[in-house]
């Protein structure tokens, strides 16, 4: 009886996993690894579930089976442990080998597990991996798995298509950085004596020494800023250039010739109309939305530009909006920094050229606003920031006419304007804005507005806009973000000028601006001149800083990121309350320790930089906005490429379409995941979100 029962259970187990099979191969240093233990796992919100096991043959091959009914119920991944690497002439097993390949919700039929799949999987899923396995919110896991094939071909174990495309292979250090990481892992596989050196340099600050290649890679991904030169130096130790040769004898090329400032991995995603991105936002499915200052392929300049539309990318960078135009209609014409997503599947944007507000359907991209947009009968000027509040109200900023627009529950028919020109009651109007640029709402239902033409933030209760107060920050503030404790973080693009030369330079620009007004220069020319002046200020005298205001509006600190902030523009808060700053002319992003110092590296205090002095680099041009997604990826908007041409009345013909920046840049797994869309202050992503169905 007992034997029969055991046979029935065994037969049930076989039939459970007989529906599908994954054939694969485990490699190290491009040679097979025999006798490696291969395990198929299913990851979700809890501990990963072990699905099947196998052992590799002499050729590194293996087979595992799974139930087709489990597809889509989580994210599958494979680990390979130990074995005898054929790249090692000793023929001895190497217990330090541990490799990884994250497969997604529908595993491929053929998989190669090697160093490249390990690096791709670790960096994209860095926020969900620990030394015991992979787990996390379903949407974040899906986003992470969806980006793995952009870096590596899971079938062959070679390079993926996106990391090799023209925007990434030759214009960023990502490809060489990716291969170099894999080379360092290969040394431990090929030469076990190298493992101790690898593990010693990948020990995290205050942490324990890793004992396998996967843990070593994970430590680098979690602490990319820590001892980057020491890790790079291993390349010469493990693979010195042979005498009489020019290149190292390594399994992957190209590799780095110079040490990186940090071991981050980023990719540039383009298409879908992306060009000269202004504001960006992440929707509830993890898709990126962006407002495009200019139309792709148009000969746009600061004086005359063909306004772009709105673009949408999937979480793995696939364009979902029309390739050249993006989504158009509904009055959209050259959106700037204003883009927001509501809980009701509506995407709101403001236009600089169109001087209006537009709204689109999040699922279809169809415009929901009229052909002229919501322009309040021509009362609006060039528009910038816009938000949707937790109560469903929409607030938007008129940067050109110093006004704020209020749409209760998003209803434009009931909309009102507050500011210099007001269609509301006189008691409700107030002159509190100076080129308002960006805004946020806090936990007390108060709106905070940055005044880019001054050095102040305006704050008022949503129920009583007339009770506004002014709060001093730095000069030319741009983005503002509210952390989970109600503090406001403000990016001051010019900062606090202190040198006599810088102050004189700014004063000269202001004087020239006043003279331009007296001479009757057109509004378009004056606006163009203002952008040129700002660019000249932050390039001639680089700097800028971030102000921290507590919930009572008191200044708690001014931070320059150890002089790493250069023209700070966009700002975002992650799920750990760490602060991310987009350095417009610095071509970098800076990570600052937030108010929860327990989530920062040991020894850091609020406002201290976590990222290196150079910031995080890779694929960035002159940038504007920054946003965090549910996988902890940091998205950055490339805004300008060639301002030297865009600032001319008539640019050079060959470069006349190069003013706008190329695409969006995503840094994988750097930040604590957040709930999206961002409506109100930041929220860490807990409890888990569900995987959206296509």
Structural contact between residues 402 and 431, judged by C-beta atoms closer than 8 angstroms: yes
Model pLDDT for residues 423-432, shown as the tens digit of each residue: 444 434 455 7
Q: Which two tokens stand for residue 143?
A: 């986003």
161-167 — which CB contacts under 8 Å span 24+ positions?
162/267, 162/269, 162/317, 163/267, 167/268, 167/270, 167/619, 167/662, 167/663
DSSP secondary structure, 75-134, as one string: EEEEEEE--EETTSTT----TT-EEEEEEESS--SEEEESHHHHHHHHHHTTTTEETTEE
List of residues 6+ apart from 603 with CB closer than 8 A: none
Distance CA 146, CA 316 (A): 6
The alpha carbon of 465 is separated from its chain's Cα centroid by a whole number of angstroms, namely 33
Predicted local distance difference test score (pLDDT) of residue 20: 82
- Which three-class secondary structure state does DSSP give residue 452? coil
Model pLDDT for residues 114-165, shown as the tens digit of each residue: 999 999 999 999 999 998 899 999 999 999 999 999 999 999 999 999 999 9
Structural contact between residues 480 and 571, judged by C-beta atoms closer than 8 angstroms: yes
Instruction: Kindly indicate the confidence band of residue 70, based on its pLDDT and cuts at 50, 70 and 90.
Output: low
Predicted local distance difference test score (pLDDT) of residue 19: 43
Model pLDDT for residues 335-385, shown as the tens digit of each residue: 999 999 999 999 999 999 999 999 999 999 999 999 999 999 999 999 999
Q: Tell me the CA distances in angstroms from 61 to 24, 29, 103, one per residue in order.
A: 6, 15, 17
Model pLDDT for residues 553-571, shown as the tens digit of each residue: 999 999 999 999 999 999 9
Distance CA 183, CA 173 (A): 15
Task: Read off the pLDDT of each residue in 470-489 and give the average, rounded to a whole number.
Answer: 97
Residue 420 has pLDDT above 70, yes or no: no
Q: Which two tokens stand for residue 429?
A: 């109007």
Predicted local distance difference test score (pLDDT) of residue 132: 80
Structural contact between residues 545 and 492, judged by C-beta atoms closer than 8 angstroms: yes
Alpha-carbon dihedral of residues 324, 327, 331, 336, nearest 10 degrees?
-80
Residue 12 has pLDDT above 50, yes or no: no
Q: At what angle do helices 228-238 and 193-201 cross, to 10 degrees?
A: 170
In the chain, pLDDT over 70 holds for what percent of residues? 92
Predicted local distance difference test score (pLDDT) of residue 501: 74
Q: How many CB atoms lie within 10 A of CB 156?
A: 15
Distance CA 350, CA 400 (A): 12
Calculate ∠ Cα 206-212-218, nearest 5°: 55
Predicted local distance difference test score (pLDDT) of residue 200: 97
Model pLDDT for residues 627-648, shown as the tens digit of each residue: 999 999 999 999 999 999 999 9
Q: How many CB atoms lie within 10 A of CB 518?
A: 7
Q: How many CB atoms lie within 10 A of CB 567?
A: 27
Q: Which of 69-73, 81-85, 280-284, 362-366 has the lowest mean pLDDT?
A: 69-73
Calculate ∠ Cα 286-394-287, nearest 5°: 10
Give the side-chain half-sphere CA count within 13 A for 634: 32
Domains and CATH numbers, the chain: 23-263 (no CATH), 277-434 (2.120.10.30)
Residue 500 has pLDDT above 80, yes or no: no
Predicted local distance difference test score (pLDDT) of residue 504: 81
Model pLDDT for residues 612-631, shown as the tens digit of each residue: 999 999 999 999 999 999 99
Distance CA 60, CA 36 (A): 8
Predicted local distance difference test score (pLDDT) of residue 538: 87
Predicted local distance difference test score (pLDDT) of residue 689: 53
Strands 110-113 and 20-28 come out as parallel
- pLDDT, mean over the chain: 92
Predicted local distance difference test score (pLDDT) of residue 66: 83
Predicted local distance difference test score (pLDDT) of residue 635: 98
List of residues 6+ apart from 654 with CB closer than 8 A: none
Residue 5 has pLDDT above 60, yes or no: no
Task: Read off the pLDDT of each residue in 501-525 and give the average, rounded to a whole number.
Answer: 72
Distance CA 383, CA 369 (A): 16
Residue 693 has pLDDT above 50, yes or no: no
Predicted local distance difference test score (pLDDT) of residue 502: 75
Instruction: Kindly indicate the confidence band of residue 517, based on its pLDDT and cuts at 50, 70 and 90.
Output: low
Structural contact between residues 260 and 179, judged by C-beta atoms closer than 8 angstroms: no
List of residues 6+ apart from 72 with CB closer than 8 A: 105, 106, 691
Q: What is the 3-state secondary structure (H, E, C) of 506-526?
A: HHHHHHHHHHHHHCCCCHHHH
- Which three-class secondary structure state does DSSP give residue 14? helix
- The secondary structure element, H or E, covering residue 479 is strand 475-482
Residue 685 has pLDDT above 90, yes or no: no
């Amino acid at each position: 009886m007992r034997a029969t029962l055991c046979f029935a259970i065994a037969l049930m187990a076989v039939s459970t996993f007989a529906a599908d099979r994954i054939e694969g191969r485990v490699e190290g240093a491009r040679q097979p690894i025999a006798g490696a233990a291969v395990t198929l796992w299913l990851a979700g919100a809890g501990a990963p579930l072990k699905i099947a096991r196998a052992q590799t043959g002499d050729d590194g091959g293996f087979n595992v089976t799974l139930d087709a009914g489990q597809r889509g119920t989580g994210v599958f991944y494979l680990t390979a442990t130990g074995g005898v690497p054929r790249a090692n002439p000793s023929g001895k097993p190497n217990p330090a080998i541990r490799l990884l390949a994250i497969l997604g919700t529908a595993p491929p039929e053929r998989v190669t597990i090697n160093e490249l799949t390990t690096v791709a999987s670790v960096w994209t899923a860095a926020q969900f991996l620990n030394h015991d396995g992979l787990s996390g919110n379903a949407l974040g896991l899906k986003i992470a798995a969806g980006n793995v094939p952009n870096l590596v071909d899971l079938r062959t174990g070679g390079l993926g298509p996106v990391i090799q495309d023209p925007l990434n292979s030759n214009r960023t250090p990502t490809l060489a950085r990716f291969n170099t990481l894999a080379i360092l892992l290969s040394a431990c596989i090929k030469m076990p004596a190298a493992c101790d050196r690898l593990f010693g340099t990948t020990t995290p600050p205050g942490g324990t020494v890793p004992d396998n290649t996967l843990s070593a890679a994970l430590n680098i991904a979690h602490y990319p800023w820590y001892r980057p030169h020491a890790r790079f130096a291993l390349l010469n130790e493990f693979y010195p250039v042979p005498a009489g040769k020019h290149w190292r004898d390594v399994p992957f090329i190209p590799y780095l010739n110079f040490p990186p400032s940090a071991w981050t991995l980023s990719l540039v995603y383009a298409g879908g109309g992306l060009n000269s991105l202004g504001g960006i936002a992440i929707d509830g499915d993890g898709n990126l939305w962006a407002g495009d200052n200019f139309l792709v392929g148009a000969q746009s300049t600061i004086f005359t530009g063909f306004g772009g539309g709105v673009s949408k990318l999937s979480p793995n960078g696939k364009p979902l909006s029309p390739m050249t135009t993006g989504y158009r209609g509904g009055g959209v014409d050259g959106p700037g920094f204003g883009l927001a997503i509501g809980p009701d599947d509506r995407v709101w944007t403001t236009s600089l050229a169109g001087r209006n507000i537009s709204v689109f359907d999040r699922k279809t991209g169809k415009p929901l606003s009229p052909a002229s947009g919501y322009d309040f009968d021509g009362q609006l000027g060039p528009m910038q920031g816009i938000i949707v509040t937790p109560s469903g109200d929409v607030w938007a900023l008129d940067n050109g006419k110093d006004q704020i627009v209020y749409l209760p529950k998003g209803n434009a028919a009931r909309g009102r304007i507050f500011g210099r020109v007001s269609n509301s009651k006189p008691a409700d109007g107030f002159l509190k804005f100076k080129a308002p640029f960006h805004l946020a709402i806090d936990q007390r239902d108060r709106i905070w507005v940055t005044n880019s033409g001054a050095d102040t933030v305006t704050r008022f209760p949503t129920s009583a806009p007339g009770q506004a107060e002014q709060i001093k920050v730095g000069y030319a503030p741009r983005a503002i973000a509210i952390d989970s404790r109600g503090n406001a973080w403000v990016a001051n693009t010019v900062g606090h000028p202190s040198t006599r030369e810088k102050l004189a330079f700014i004063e000269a620009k202001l004087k020239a601006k006043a003279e331009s007004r007296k001479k009757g220069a057109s509004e378009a020319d004056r606006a163009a001149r203002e952008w040129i002046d700002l660019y000249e200020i932050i390039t001639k005298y680089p700097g800028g800083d971030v102000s921290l205001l507590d919930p009572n509006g008191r200044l708690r600190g001014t931070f320059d990121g150890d002089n790493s902030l250069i023209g700070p523009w966009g700002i975002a808060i992650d799920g750990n309350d760490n602060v991310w700053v987009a350095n417009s002319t610095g071509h970098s992003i800076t990570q600052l320790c937030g108010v929860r110092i327990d989530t920062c590296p040991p020894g850091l205090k609020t406002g201290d930089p976590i990222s290196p002095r150079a910031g995080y680099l890779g694929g960035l041009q002159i940038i504007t906005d920054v946003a965090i997604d549910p996988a902890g990826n940091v998205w950055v908007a490339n805004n300008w490429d060639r301002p030297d041409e865009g600032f001319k009345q008539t640019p050079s013909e060959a470069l006349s379409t190069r003013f706008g920046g190329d695409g969006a840049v995503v840094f994988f797994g750097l930040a604590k995941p957040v709930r999206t869309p961002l409506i109100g202050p930041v929220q860490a992503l807990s409890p888990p979100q569900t995987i959206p169905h296509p």
